[in-house]
Amino acid sequence: MQGTIATFDPASRSGTLLLDDGTELAFGASAFDASGLRKLRLGQRVDIDTDPAGGIREVRIPGVA
């Protein structure tokens, strides 16, 4: 699933993203930390992995392994 970063707080390593259908989802530090990324910018496209309950497990850059 893909979305666009809407907010990101580097201090807490959490933020929100908008799915292509306009749904806003929050992600916590654990989803950001799982990606191995060091920062995100507003408007950046990301891939997400979700858990069975719909929570975000990982936020990552599309096409980057």
If you average pLDDT over every residue of the chain, what do you get? Answer: 90
Say which residue the tokens 């992995």 belong to.
49
Phi (first) and psi of residue 37, to 5 degrees: -75, 160
Condensed to tens digits (0 to 9), the pLDDT of residues 32-55 reads: 988 888 889 999 999 998 889 888
pTM for the whole structure: 0.86
Euclidean distance between CA atoms 20 and 24, whole angstroms:
9
**Quick one: which of 40, 12, 11, 9 has its CA closest to 48?**
40
What does the pLDDT read at residue 18? 95
Give the sign of the dihedral formed by CA 29, CA 33, CA 39, CA 40: negative
Q: What is the CA radius of gyration of the chain?
A: 10
- Domains of the chain in start order, with CATH, are 2-60 (2.40.50)
